[in-house]
Homo-oligomer: A and B are copies of this chain.
Amino acid sequence: MLVNSKSGALISIRDRGLLYGDGVFRTLLARDGIALHRQQHLDKLQHDCAQLGITCPALSILSSELDEVLLQYPDGVVKLIVTRGIGGRGYAPSADAQPSHIWDVTAVPQYPQDWYSHGVVVRVCDIRLSEQPRLAGIKHLNRLENVLAAAESGAADSAEGLLLDGQGRVIEGTRSNLFLLCDGCLITPQLHRCGVAGVQRDRVLAYARAQGMMVQIRDVMLAEVYWADEVFLVNSVFGVWSVRELGERRWQKRTFATRLRTELTQGEW
């Protein structure tokens, strides 16, 4: 664990990350000393910081610290948090605030092998995502909606929950992005009102476009999920999970998701 480039596991109680959730984060999978898709994650971190007006630490520093972390923890889930740091008067950020940055590593979650080979059971969360265009797409530290979704009764009976907005549009999973395959067209919800745009989502889109597939990024109503030929979820830790069950609907088909998992593991998308 590193806190502001020093070994440690503690942070000031005056850090705005704690006080206001005023920061962003990334979750990278490390295997055999390699952090997968590290450049995409660092680019996304920089992008999200800019969206919030947080000065992102230099990528050269983050990159060399990541090397240090990987030497000590070659396998695990690497979390990188950047906050606006300490200071400012109440909510107003100080112009000269020094951002904080934090590295932490936890064990890779061991999901049932069956979830990869036969797909996962998914449910629809009760809570609806609020719409905030200024925060949409950003992986920021205001994650109470995800917490409440994951705490719902019934959450333990499924591998993932789908989050809808107040209009009944499906946006994402609680910790993943959602894709549908309909008549050969790849569809994923647009994330300009709410939701988090993950690195793995970008990689799927890049792969699909490189294959010449028709791709649609648009509003998706829940009903469309039930009609889809294939449904799958992606994130940087578990990779790709086919959905095999949602309510009464069962899917047998997972041809594309299976190929995708192989391609994303091998290729540099």
Contact = CB atoms under 8 A, between A and B. Distances in A.
A73 to B, nearest CB: 15
Nearest to A3: B13
Given A9-B14, A21-B141, A93-B151, 18 more contacts: A9-B13, A10-B13, A13-B81, A18-B141, A19-B143, A20-B21, A20-B146, A21-B143, A22-B143, A52-B147, A89-B109, A90-B150, A90-B175, A91-B150, A130-B130, A130-B131, A132-B145, A140-B144
Give chain A's interface residue range (CB within 8 Å of chain B): 35 or more
11 contacts: A10-B12, A18-B83, A19-B25, A20-B21, A52-B144, A90-B109, A90-B150, A90-B175, A91-B149, A91-B151, A130-B130
A148 interface: yes
Contacts of A150: 90-93
A60 to B, nearest CB: 23
Nearest to A156: B92
A104 B14 contact: yes
